[in-house]
Amino acid sequence: MIGFERDFKPHPPGGFARLRARLRDALVMVIAGRWPVPQAAARASAMDVAMMGRALELAREAAAAGEVPVGAVVYRLSTGEVLGESGNTRERDADPAGHAELIAIRQAAKRVGDFRLHDCGLAVTLEPCAMCSGAIVNARLQRVVFGAWDPKAGFAGSLGNLLDHHRLNHRVPPIAGVRGEECAQLLTEFFRQLRKKKASRKEAKSDGS
């Protein structure tokens, strides 16, 4: 059953929860005696934006199939070759791991014959969750761009940031907000329509009883 409580944002979330997470991370770094290496702020390239366009197409296809509209593309940074792409498939496959970015990563790894996806980037319409962020780190992706922020489940800056964590052996600072307004609007409209359908079914059931 798809939930209705999510609130997707084109901009980074704020508030006490975010501050608390940052203070907790800072305390861990003080205790460990390690501080993150400063990273220069990166900007999305023309290739990143184009790949996000394809990810949006996949997200719309997922929505048409009744899935939460998230799309992801894995591509070679040197050539722009698409190595893997998918929309969400959780409802269709009854698979809790059926997230678009996880499927795209698996396709890309199978295609290159190596789980290490060096010289590869990922474009995804929604901030990756903890599961997908872990897969991104393990796949050694060199670049990650995402569209909308996910304040309730995102782990690339909202609830935490596994992609750029000082304790992990691979770090890939994400580039956020690429076509973020479009990505957020697509998700918001999808859940708005779901709420309408749910209300209509409830009303019809009430009338028939």
Q: List active site positions.
A: 101
User: Cα angle at 75 between 69 and 78, to 5 degrees?
Assistant: 150
Q: Find, among 51, 90, 93, 86, the residue nearest to 68 by Cα.
A: 90
Helix axes 100-112, 130-138, angle to 10 degrees: 20
Element (H, E) at 54: helix 46-64
CB distance 9 to 149 below 8 Å: yes
Q: Find, among 88, 78, 71, 89, the residue nearest to 112 by Cα.
A: 78
Element (H, E) at 136: helix 130-138
Burial-class residue 130 by CB neighbours within 10 Å (0-12, 13-18, 19+): middle
